[in-house]
Structure 1
Amino acid sequence: MFQDLHQKLKRNQNYCLPVERGMERDFLSFTDFFESGKDPMFIIDLRSHQYLNVNQQFVNNHNKFDSLLSKFEEDIEGEIELRSLQLSHGNQTFLFNPIFQTQGKALVQVLELNELNSAARDSGKKLIEHPFVDMSVNRELLNKLPLGLIHTNRQFESIWINKKFKSLFGREIEKDFNFIDAIYVKSISQFWDKIETLNEEGGQVNFSFVIHNLKKSEEVFINASAIAVGKKHHLEEGFIFILEDKTENMHFSEEITKQNLALNQINHELDKFLYSVSHNIRGPIASLEGLLKVIEISDVQTVNELKHHLRLNLRLLNGFVSDISNVATNIHTHVNLVEVNLRDVLEQMVFFVDNIYDVKPKLNIDIPNNYFVRTDADRFGIILKSLLKNSFQYRDTRKDQFEISIKVTQNEDFHLIEITDNGIGISEKVKPYIFDMFYRGTELSNGNGMGLYNSREILKKIEGTMNIESKEREWTKVKIYLPTKV
């Protein structure tokens, strides 16, 4: 048979496989493999079974497998696409391995399994027992797959894995590696139902699980497909699992969800902000308009009495505009870190605020004279001014003495600044809302409800945090945490 084949090939020695667009690079690499490879190869037309070309190794070793060519042709009768075929003659076994197929033509590699095992036995190496390992081209392609691949036996013990599988687990895979023991399946009962279906009906099942990558010390989310394999595939009976890493998609989806939630929150805050701005401005303006009408019909003495109300409303408007300006400044201005003398800035802020309220508190500042913090001086000043104004505004007039105590402590992570007053305190029902925009927690409030909200947002910008402790009618303590390393 080989003689007839050889005569046909002499008439068509320059034949090569037709190349589909976009496959030129692959074809060139396979052509080089065909011409210089150490294994016998031939090109066959699957429709006519005509042999179109053979390489030199095929010519040199045809006597080993010439008798199997007829058997090979019988087995591929009617096949449009070739699969690997393992054929035996006497004590010799050959694997006809299709490497490249296009337009009804196939490039076939012929591997002598007996010879490979014999060479391995002589070298002291493990006998070759898995076609993925035997086929050098297949092994190279499977190791380049972006998908993890593992072939297991019926007990899910690994027989062969590719490089991507190792990288997903982030470790070397031991000889007795059990695939099922190494994964976390959310619903184990559903998983076993699918494996049972696979055993009974064949085909393919899909499922998801999580594995722990030891090298990166992180969870990896996997979408997997499982296929039952056996002797008809020339493989040991068991399963092939194909693993696709979906971790990045999961994180991307989580990030989109977080961004949507954040955007909804921003829109909600913006709606509330615009409504409250109009409300807070409308009140003082309406009062000013009313006062002006009264002034127009009043005598000099009455006008003098109304000046206090005019000043109060103008102060409210000015304070509100200042708070709005602080919000915009905090959002759009870069943080400017400088060394700030904490005691000096606190004494300045107390002096500024007590001039507004014309009240002198009993002040106790437990801060060294040269205690410096690295922060944004302007933002820090706004925060202190707002918090001290609260202490003055909500002082308890029933008590003999209005007191404010300020102290600082430090550890390796942060400066802790505590401002404690003996004012009216905060009720338990109000505490959950004190940092909400425009929230006013007491009837004594004549502000716009932006003080604590604004203070916390500005503090976030300089990587600080704050919380407030209080006992109603007794005291309030504000704790400001500023990072020591910025």
Structure 2
Amino acid sequence: MYTATPDQLLQPLLATLAEVSEPVCLLSTRGELQFINSAFQRISGYQQLEDVQKAGGLSSLLVDEEQKRPLPSAPPGSTATAADLLPKRVYLQTSSGKRIPLYLKQKVLPGGESGSVGTLYLFEQHPRAKTTTDYHRLLASFVEHANDAIMITEAEPLEEPGPRIVLVNQAFMRMTGYTRKESLGRSPRFLQGPNTQRQELDRIKAALQAQRATTAEIINYRKDGSEFWVELTVVPIRLYGTELTHFVSIQRETTHKKELEKALQDSRRQLEEALYENKQILNRSLDMICSLHPDGRFKQMNKACQRMLGYTPQEMIGRHFIDFVHPADKLKTLEVAAEIIAGNVQQNFENRLLHKGGRVVTVLWNACLSEDNQLMYSTARDISALKDAQEQLQGYTAQLEKINSELDQFVYKTSHDLRAPLVSVLGLINLTQQEPDEQQRSEYLSLMVRSIKKLDSFIQDIIRFSKNARTEVSPEPINFQLLIQEILQELMYMEEAKTIAVQLSVDPIAPFYSDKRRIEVIFHNIISNAIRYRNPAAEAPYIHIQVRESGQQQVRIDISDNGLGIAPEHQEKIFEMFYRATENSTGSGLGLYIVKESLAKLNGEISVASEPGAGTRFSIYLPNLQQPQGVEAHV
């Protein structure tokens, strides 16, 4: 937890004491002189603290009139109040040796971990405060007319509704807009609002509960509702010995300081544009700023060169700039340098530099020649990330154009392929209604069922396409043997599958992780195509499926058949959306497109080798995706 130091507690008071017309000194808890105001300097002739120390310290300069000996200071850690130390007559020995009669009042300032933060020495040339009552009046006048806002509250309660205010001065009323009558009796919390920092309030509360002095800077609210920043110091007061009775808060508005801080931040950018070479380059700039000799050697530069290129300024100063340019950009860079030497300002010149670590850094330059000293001044900004973003944006644009093209094609084809079976069914229904022959009606119904199944298959392909596009990859353990057997069992109900012999071979592989749903779609679409496009003329139609490891963290899957095969001119297009290699195709034209898009999601690859009349082989390569901890994979 943050605890204010004695110096932090005294700062607001010292600022006020500096303006006091009477001589004032401040001693630390160890008896060391910490502060003298201008009035003391004027009356004593000592202008600096060091001058007083050389003269033997403050105590050696003060002589008690009654005891005729140096005056002792208040004991360290004392908690004496104003009533305990009344004014006494002393003599102050000036720097010229003259003794001046004065009236001295010692005041121990409470606060800090040791109970006090120092002793205040107040001098008067006339005995205006000989009694405790007069002294209290003096202090009251001091508080009332202080430049800093001062507020005194009761010590309890710290919980709701909070301690009551018992005193505010004129500076407080000017700062907040509230009159004394409007403030007294209320909790200081009436100055807080929605933007008052709760964390700071909690810290202040914790310090007050521990009866410690603290300093904070928070947002308060004036009577007119406007916000203002205030730096405050809160000190516990014990009027009756050790019992805590009050808290004193000395406050100074810092709104103007905050506004200046913001203005300084806003002007930083403008200052960076107004740099002038003077052997001290601004090292806080994110851009590399440098000066070069007419022969191209670096003269000065800031530390941004190390962030940008990995070289320290010492490693680059004295070397020719061309030493750091990418070989492919050296010629055009030298041509631009010649233009600068000729007096032409170069703006937004782009080239590539070589980082100390070997990577390429793309840089945007602005450079000019100074006529005063014939030096070249240049700023360079690393735009590598911007170039990468531009390339990525170009990739996104190309991908978007591809998606738009596919979407146009998708809308056209789906509207046609969805409508065709429906039109067929409607026509068959019309024929069925008019056909009296029962056998013919049965054939019409079979044709309706076939059209509906075709429509359902097309809709299923659309659903798979949509799921692949929208669903994130979800790796899980893959049991290829079980997964393929389940798909084969499902597809064996196809009419064309009854005469096909299926051979499945899964080699032992290391635990393998991938997206099970997408792999199911891949196998389903390829195997169903092999069944659908079998060769009726083949004596022994077959489908062979083999799964084996291929290199580190990768499997290879081969699905081959002796079906109709694919003509060479179609093989590069079969993975396109809605592409059909033959007009006799009964599929949607989405199956292999979905296979390719699903593999793209899994970072996989697919190739095809086919010969018309001999058969087709699809080869798939799947990487082993990162496996979750604590999960065992199936072999």
Query: TM over 0.5, yes or no?
Result: yes
Q: Aligned to 2:454, which of 293, 316, 319?
A: 316
- Alignment partner, residue 126 of structure 1: none
- Alignment partner, residue 304 of structure 1: 442
Whole-Å Cα distance in 2 between the matches of residues 248 and 370 of structure 1? 41
Alignment CA distance shift 1:150-1:453 (3 Å)? same
Residue 328 (structure 1) shift: 2.3
Asked if the contact 2:283/2:303 (under 8 Å) is kept, the reply is yes
Asked if the contact 1:470/1:476 (under 8 Å) is kept, the reply is yes
TM-score (norm 1): 0.66
- Cα distance per residue 1:239-262 (max 9 Å; x no partner): 333212222332333233222222
Asked if the contact 1:170/1:213 (under 8 Å) is kept, the reply is yes
Q: Aligned to 2:539, which of 400, 409, 412?
A: 400
Of structures 1 and 2, the larger Rg is shown by: 2
- Alignment partner, residue 227 of structure 1: 368
Question: SS at 1:382's partner residue?
Answer: helix
- Alignment partner, residue 284 of structure 2: 144
Residue 238 (structure 1) shift: 4.3
Whole-Å Cα distance in 1 between the matches of residues 329 and 586 of structure 2? 58
Question: SS at 1:408's partner residue?
Answer: strand
- Cα distance per residue 1:122-144 (max 9 Å; x no partner): xxxxxxxx9743xxxxx2x5222
Whole-Å Cα distance in 2 between the matches of residues 464 and 424 of structure 1? 26
- Cα distance per residue 1:257-303 (max 9 Å; x no partner): 22222222222211211111110011111111111111112210111
Whole-Å Cα distance in 2 between the matches of residues 160 and 385 of structure 1? 68
Residue 191 (structure 1) shift: 4.3
Alignment CA distance shift 1:26-1:165 (3 Å)? farther
State the AA in 2 paired with 1:220: V
Asked if the contact 2:346/2:366 (under 8 Å) is kept, the reply is yes
Asked if the contact 2:305/2:311 (under 8 Å) is kept, the reply is no
Q: Aligned to 2:394, which of 253, 257, 266?
A: 257
Whole-Å Cα distance in 2 between the matches of residues 189 and 213 of structure 1? 19
Asked if the contact 1:185/1:191 (under 8 Å) is kept, the reply is no
- Alignment partner, residue 404 of structure 2: 267
Please show how residues 81-160 of structure 1 align to structure 2 within 5 Å: 132-133=278-279, 139=280, 142-160=282-300
- Alignment partner, residue 111 of structure 1: none
- Alignment partner, residue 359 of structure 2: 218
Q: Aligned to 1:281, which of 397, 415, 418?
A: 418
Whole-Å Cα distance in 1 between the matches of residues 602 and 286 of structure 2? 43
State the AA in 2 paired with 1:348: E
Asked if the contact 1:354/1:360 (under 8 Å) is kept, the reply is no
Question: SS at 1:142's partner residue?
Answer: coil
- Alignment partner, residue 421 of structure 1: 561
Residue correspondences, number: 357
> As a proportion of its length, which structure holds more helix?
1
- Alignment partner, residue 326 of structure 2: 184
Question: SS at 2:577's partner residue?
Answer: coil
- Alignment partner, residue 127 of structure 2: none
- Alignment partner, residue 479 of structure 2: 341
- Alignment partner, residue 467 of structure 2: 329
Residue 423 (structure 1) shift: 1.4
TM-score (norm 2): 0.51
Asked if the contact 1:343/1:369 (under 8 Å) is kept, the reply is no
- Cα distance per residue 1:104-152 (max 9 Å; x no partner): xxxxxxxxxxxxxxxxxxxxxxxxxx9743xxxxx2x522222212223
Identity %: 23
Residue 387 (structure 1) shift: 0.6
State the AA in 1 paired with 2:405: H
Asked if the contact 2:555/2:623 (under 8 Å) is kept, the reply is yes
Asked if the contact 1:336/1:376 (under 8 Å) is kept, the reply is yes
- Cα distance per residue 1:73-110 (max 9 Å; x no partner): xxxxxxxxxxxxxxxxxxxxxxxxxx9xx9xxxxxxxx
Residue 452 (structure 1) shift: 0.3
Question: SS at 2:282's partner residue?
Answer: helix
Whole-Å Cα distance in 2 between the matches of residues 198 and 385 of structure 1? 66
Residue 203 (structure 1) shift: 5.0
1:199 maps onto 2:336 in alignment: no
Whole-Å Cα distance in 1 between the matches of residues 459 and 263 of structure 2? 73
Whole-Å Cα distance in 1 between the matches of residues 500 and 262 of structure 2? 85
- Alignment partner, residue 471 of structure 1: 611
Question: SS at 1:423's partner residue?
Answer: coil
Single out whichever of 182-191 and 158-167 deviates more from structure 2: 182-191
Q: Aligned to 1:388, which of 510, 516, 527?
A: 527
Residue 376 (structure 1) shift: 2.9
Whole-Å Cα distance in 1 between the matches of residues 329 and 544 of structure 2? 58
Whole-Å Cα distance in 1 between the matches of residues 508 and 446 of structure 2? 39
Alignment CA distance shift 1:461-1:192 (3 Å)? closer
Whole-Å Cα distance in 1 between the matches of residues 290 and 443 of structure 2? 90
Whole-Å Cα distance in 1 between the matches of residues 263 and 488 of structure 2? 82
Asked if the contact 2:607/2:620 (under 8 Å) is kept, the reply is yes
Whole-Å Cα distance in 2 between the matches of residues 278 and 354 of structure 1? 30
What RMSD over aligned residues (CA atoms) do the two structures have, in Å? 3.2
Q: Aligned to 1:366, which of 476, 501, 505?
A: 505
Alignment CA distance shift 1:21-1:262 (3 Å)? farther
Whole-Å Cα distance in 1 between the matches of residues 262 and 526 of structure 2? 71
- Alignment partner, residue 173 of structure 2: none
- Cα distance per residue 1:360-419 (max 9 Å; x no partner): 322222214898642333332222111111111111222211111111121312111111
Residue 321 (structure 1) shift: 1.2
Single out whichever of 237-246 and 417-426 deviates more from structure 2: 237-246
Whole-Å Cα distance in 1 between the matches of residues 515 and 340 of structure 2? 65
Asked if the contact 2:294/2:341 (under 8 Å) is kept, the reply is no
1:245 maps onto 2:385 in alignment: no
Whole-Å Cα distance in 2 between the matches of residues 382 and 131 of structure 1? 67
Whole-Å Cα distance in 1 between the matches of residues 263 and 441 of structure 2? 99
Asked if the contact 2:542/2:562 (under 8 Å) is kept, the reply is yes
Unaligned stretches of 5+ in structure 1?
1-19, 30-98, 103-129, 134-138
State the AA in 1 paired with 2:560: T
Alignment CA distance shift 1:469-1:372 (3 Å)? farther
- Alignment partner, residue 596 of structure 2: 456
Whole-Å Cα distance in 2 between the matches of residues 268 and 361 of structure 1? 38
Unaligned stretches of 5+ in structure 2?
1-255, 266-270, 627-635
- Alignment partner, residue 75 of structure 1: none
Residue 181 (structure 1) shift: 2.3
Asked if the contact 1:465/1:480 (under 8 Å) is kept, the reply is yes
Asked if the contact 1:379/1:458 (under 8 Å) is kept, the reply is yes
Asked if the contact 2:559/2:618 (under 8 Å) is kept, the reply is yes
Whole-Å Cα distance in 2 between the matches of residues 327 and 27 of structure 1? 56
Whole-Å Cα distance in 1 between the matches of residues 504 and 264 of structure 2? 82
Asked if the contact 1:343/1:371 (under 8 Å) is kept, the reply is no
